[in-house]
Structure 1
Amino acid sequence: MGSRELDAAGITDPRLRRAYLRCRALNARYGRTYFLATRLLAPHRRPAVHALYGFARWADEVVDNPNTVNPSTQDSAAVLDSLSAALTRALEEGSSDHPVLAALVDTVGRFDLEHGLFTDFMASMRMDLTVTEYATFADLDHYVHGSAEVIGLQVLPVLGTVTARSEAAPHAARLGLAFQITNFLRDVDEDLDRGRIYLPLAELAAFGVDRDRLVWCRSRGSADRAVRAALAHLVALNFADYRAAKPGIAMLAPESRPCVRTAFRLYSGILDEIVAADYDVFARRAVVPKARRLAVAVPALGAALIARSAWR
């Protein structure tokens, strides 16, 4: 299937095809929801989305598990510096021999993506090496811009728009933010294990929650009443992010809307699962059940096929 997508995109160079397939494998392994949604895109658009996701995932692995990227070291900072230098060089030269950057740089050139989007992304990845918590949403904004909003802005030209790109861009950025905050809410326990808290401390403190209380809930495998109340508040704010982002879907190229609409429904569905669990994110990881994923994806596939036919 991956080869047919590359053929559809006109990617013929064997080296580039290997890089794109590597990115596709990263997407399939680490981003099940994103990967499922990407399957709804027209085949010629998929490789670019895989390249963007694959690079983002590669950088994330550098931060959290550097030995999986370079088995000879545990030094995340050194590996991230090396990747940053390779990225800068690749963007300047327009090509790379790196197994992931080769596909990324090709995508950047094909869709004329702004280099600053990747600079901002790497800055947020570097923050993960030293910043372990954020006092307020305002403090979190800079990190989320680079880690999530720029992803929406990177993908937007690949998806195409029926309006001016500048009109759709704020919605694309807001959807990236919404997805990221959902991750933070779902993965409170995993982030604690890495010593990090992404949920703003001031929002938690309003409900009597601090790091020690979160660690205690993590150790017992269950959220207490105060933590549930704090998460209920933050989930409500996250639902508002999705509502603000939703108008942007209609601004996309018709053939791309089923993909984004599916990602929208499945990711916001994680919030539904958190609510259904009474906001206890420590008891089990909130995931959208397979039956619901299929119930969303199958009709979307029909809509995608109809849209592709009409768009030709």
Structure 2
Amino acid sequence: MNVTELDAAGITEPVLRRAYTACRRVNAVHGRTFFLATRLLPARARPAAHALYGFARAADELVDNPAPGSDPGAGLARVAHRLDLVFAGSETGDPLLAAFADTVRRHHLDRALFDAFLHSMRMDLSVTAYRTFADLAEYTHGSAAVIGLQMLPLLGTGGPLAEAEPYAAALGEAFQLTNFLRDVGEDLDRGRLYLPLDELAAFGVDRDLLRWSKLTGRHDRRIRRALAAFVARNRAIYRRAEPGISLLRKESQPCVHTARVLYESILDEIADHDYAVLDRRAVVPAHRRLAVAAGAWARSRMRREQRSRV
């Protein structure tokens, strides 16, 4: 339990403290890049970030890693019911959701953001491919853009929240496309392909070629060219999202900047390994993640000390 964070956030009730601590543990184990970035948030904002991650992770696991014999659709229906209870102010019966419910109330988060997220999770149960980026947009809105919008009230902005929203949504989209590129092989094993079929076809790539490459371990220049184009598109979205960081409260900027740098570094890893993503998972080395975070932490501390001397 990180007492400092809970105290800073004004979370004093023992059950809530245990619930937030459980969410923090889930984030630390399963969301290493995000967790590292949250260490740069003001202590008071970290518990809420962990609670949002915990909710999203639980729903995502129902779809991506269902327990043997379980029904992911029924699981998502239960999550939706508990979401009804959260927004009605009722008890959910789930101790871990207590932290999420508290975060929703504290930060006045919009129900529509979570409905959109669950809609995208349901899409994963029936949609196995997307023809165009326009088709994919419905999915990425709920699976990624709304995550950025959920985080905005926690991060705080220097001006109107609405001014920063398009950038927050774009950054969520950029993170998601990076995930799609990193996880192409894993997604194929689940029967899914998120990279739009028409975009792949422009390079002579289809699902069968991707499967062949994954099964044989042999690389194909058409796949490399297609993935290079997706990486270039992904980098353009990061550039589009970048101006939004300066719209955040200064104390939150190091966290988001670090998350952006670390996630975009996954694209560097993909390119450095000649776009071989079908038989390996591109991972930013731990020493590089720590170096980026340490630099951001040092700059953040320097700014805090400068403010304290004013």
Question: Is the 8 Å Cα contact of residues 209 and 227 (structure 1) preserved in structure 2?
Answer: yes
Question: Match of 1:100, SS?
Answer: helix
Tell me, what secondary structure is at the counterpart of 1:66?
Answer: coil
Deviation at 1:26, TM superposition (A): 1.2
Offset, 1:235: 0.5
Match status 1:156 vs 2:152: yes
State yes or no: 1:211 paired with 2:241.
no
Q: Which deviates more, 285-294 or 211-220?
A: 285-294
User: Distance between the aligned counterparts of 1:139 and 1:147, measured in 2?
Assistant: 14
| 1:12-91 → structure 2 map (5 Å cutoff) | 12-67=12-67, 73-91=69-87
**C-alpha contact 2:180 2:194 (8 A) present in aligned 1:** yes
2:170 corresponding residue in structure 1: 174
CA change 1:222–1:107 in 2 (3 A) is farther
2:246 to 229, 243, 250: 250
Structure 1 match to 2:293: 297
Letter in 1 for 2:246: A
Distance in 1 between residues matched to 2:5 and 2:83, nearest whole Å: 25
Question: Is 1:278 the counterpart of 2:274 in the alignment?
Answer: yes
User: Structure 1 residues 256 and 181, CA, compared in 2 at 3 Å: closer, same or farther?
Assistant: same
Change (3 A) 1:202 1:83: same
In the TM superposition, residue 130 of structure 1 has moved relative to its aligned partner by 0.7
Post-superposition offset of 1:106 = 0.7
For structure 1, the residue ranges without an aligned partner over 5 or more in a row are none
RMSD of aligned Cα (Å): 1.5
Residue 190 of structure 2: aligned partner: 194
SS of 1:269 mapped into structure 2: helix
Are the aligned partners of 1:121 and 1:147 in contact in 2 as well (CA < 8 Å)?
A: yes
| Alpha-carbon contact 2:148-2:172 (below 8 Å) kept | yes
Q: CA deviation at 1:311?
A: 6.2
Indicate the residue corresponding to 1:184 in structure 2.
180
**Range with bigger deviation, 135-144 or 214-223:** 214-223
Q: One-letter code of the match for 1:43?
A: A
Larger CA deviation: 15-24 vs 179-188: 15-24
**Is this contact kept in 2: 1:266–1:288, CA < 8 A?**
yes
Once the two structures are superposed, the pairs formed by residues 135-150 of structure 1 within 5 Å of their partners are 135-150=131-146
- Output the CA distance in 1 between the equivalents of 2:213 and 2:31: 27
CA contact (8 A) 1:41 1:304 kept: no
- The match for 2:8 is 8
**Structure 1 residue 244: deviation in Å?**
0.2
Q: Is the 8 A contact 2:185 2:279 kept in 1?
A: no
Kept after mapping to 2: 8 A contact 1:42/1:308: no
Deviation at 1:218, TM superposition (A): 1.1
Name the CA distance, whole Å, in 2 between partners of 1:219 and 1:139: 28
What displacement does 1:310 show? 5.5
Paired AA for residue 100 in structure 1: L
- SS class of match (1:196): coil
Q: Could you tell me how far apart the structure 2 residues matched to 1:305 and 1:270 are?
A: 26
Question: How far 1:95 sits from its partner (Å)?
Answer: 4.8
Ranges in structure 2 where 5+ consecutive residues have no aligned partner: none
Q: Which residue identity is paired with 1:227? A: I
Is 1:107 the equivalent of 2:103? yes
TM-score (norm: length of structure 2): 0.96
What is the rounded CA distance, in whole Å, between the counterparts of 1:311 and 1:146 in structure 2? 38
Opposite residue 59 of structure 1, the aligned amino acid is A
Closer/same/farther in 2, CA of residues 222 and 303 from structure 1, 3 Å limit: farther
Q: Tell me the SS of whatever aligns to 1:56.
A: helix
2: CA distance between counterparts of 1:124 and 1:165? 24
Question: Residues 88-143 of structure 1, C-alpha deviation per residue, up to 9 Å, x if partnerless?
Answer: 12111265331332111111111111111001001001111111100000000000
Give the drift of 1:205: 0.4
Specify the code of the residue in structure 2 equivalent to 1:35: F
Q: Does 1:227 align with 2:223?
A: yes
The one-letter amino acid paired with 1:132 is T
**For residue 168 of structure 2, what is the amino acid of its counterpart?**
A
Out of 302-311 and 163-172, give the one that drifted further.
302-311
- Tell me which moved more, 270-279 or 91-100: 91-100
Separation in structure 2 between the aligned mates of residue 309 and residue 51 of structure 1, nearest angstrom: 29
May I ask how many residue pairs the two structures share in their alignment?
Answer: 308
Deviations 1:159-183 (A, max 9, x none): 0111211111100000000000000
